Amino acid sequence: MAWSPQRAVLAACTMAFFATMVGRLVISPVVPAIAAEFAVSNSVIGLALSGMWLAYALAQFPSGLIGDRVGERAVILIAVVGTAVASLLLAVSPVFALFCLFTIALGGAAGLHYSVATTLLSKTFENTGTAIGIHSAGAPLAGVVAPVAAAYTGALFGWRYAVAIGALAAVPTAFFVLSGIPRTDPQHPEKSIRSRVQFDILRELLTRPPIAGAVAASVLAAFVWQGTASFLPTFLVEQRGYSETTAGVVFSAYFLVQGAGQPGIGWLSDRTSRNAAMAVCLCCGVAGYTLFVLGPGIWSVAAATVLVGIAMSWGSAILPKVLDHMSAQEEGLGFGLVRTTYMVIGASGSVGTGLLADLFGWAVAFLALAGILGVVLVGLAVTAAHGEWRRTEN
């Protein structure tokens, strides 16, 4: 296929998502070294990382408003440059208090990207599901590369060099954003951000039936995603009895499948319907998590990894559905609001899954994840029974 300005925009947005995710993922593999240098516990560092992910979620809503005021390219560039700066500051942090501050700043900067990039792609492409799927693949691909690169670099040169990989990924990406994304006109340059944040408008958006249903499904699916991202390697070690190395390979494979699954599910949602593509994800998830717990041998784990990777590509089906039910004028405000809403609530997946594992064991915890996706699947079936299953919702 010939290169075009539209594909340049898609490539730049995808690279930006990759770079901002790398900045966040390179910290976890070197947590023990960070804890040793600053003489703090892993739980205290975990609190800083929780602050980073919370800041990332909270940044989704204002990012859309800022994009409407100054244009999408400017916000994407701020996110990438902010990621580079925060990564460098993390690498030179002299005390742990500053390390925590810069970790939270990293999450906030990275969080500015996704909502505005998605609304930009919805304006640029007719097949929004495919475009969003390709764009979303940037994150799981970072999940394949970043942990391995950080662990290797940290072992050779120390954790500060490992954390600085975030800047190494972000700096060249900033130049690609400048060249690949044309200057974008703001949607509402004349309106102040404060004037647009009105409770009645926000409530109407979130309670609009198709959007409300998508948000509810996204909250539950995000809960499952968070629990998987936090504890899949631990589950494989403690429940299935695999080595940490094998668990790490499976975890990377999960991200790899998710990276391939995002464009595929997005394409399917464009060709059939958003609901049909979501149903595929949910069925794969119910089967995959059940197979993780009950399936015998390594081949069952391999099959479960593929199924769960496809399942956690759900965003490529449900996020285009949210945009389908918003006007162009609402997307900057509304999409960021939706992202912040389901991500903040869904972030409890780490705590919830860990608590279930502590109380009842890992088998129950992962079967509960299958059950949650099963609940969403039932809700989707009820929606279909009420006549909302359509071949296309564009």
Where residue 231 falls among pLDDT bands split at 50, 70, 90?
A: confident
pTM over 0.95: no
Q: What is the mean pLDDT of residues 243-267?
A: 85
- Stronger pLDDT, 209 or 78, i.e. the higher one: 78
pLDDT of residue 197: 63
Cα 394 from Cα 390, distance rounded (Å): 10
- Give the pLDDT confidence of 141-196 residue by residue, as tens digits: 888 888 888 888 888 999 999 999 999 999 999 999 998 888 877 666 666 556 55
Mean pLDDT of the chain: 85
Alpha helices in 239-348, H assignment, sequence order: 244-271, 274-294, 297-311, 315-324, 328-346
pLDDT, position 186 = 65
By the 8 A CB rule, do 28 and 146 touch?
no
Position 187 scores a pLDDT of 65
- Write the burial class of residue 194 (CB in 10 Å: 0-12 exposed, 13-18 middle, 19+ buried): exposed
Instruction: Give the pLDDT band of residue 3 (cuts 50, 70, 90).
Output: low
**For residues 317-336, average pLDDT:** 78
For residue 126, give every residue at least 6 positions away whose Cβ sits within 8 Å of its Cβ, in sequence order, or none.
394
H/E stretch holding 360 reads helix 349-360
Q: What was the pLDDT predicted at 301? A: 94
Q: Set out the domains of the chain in order of their start, with CATH numbers.
A: 1-178 (1.20.1250.20), 196-394 (1.20.1250.20)
More confident residue, 251 or 374: 374
pLDDT of residue 130: 83
pLDDT given at position 357: 86
CA nearest neighbour of 69 among 193, 178, 181 = 193
**What pLDDT sits at residue 238?**
85
Rounded to whole angstroms, how far apart are CA atoms 166 and 27?
9
pLDDT tens digits for 55-114? 888 888 888 778 777 888 999 999 999 999 999 999 999 999 999 999 999 999 999 998
Note the pLDDT tens digit of each residue in 346-394.
Answer: 877 877 888 888 889 899 999 999 999 999 999 988 877 765 444 444 4
pLDDT, residue 326, reads: 78
**Average pLDDT of span 257-279:** 88
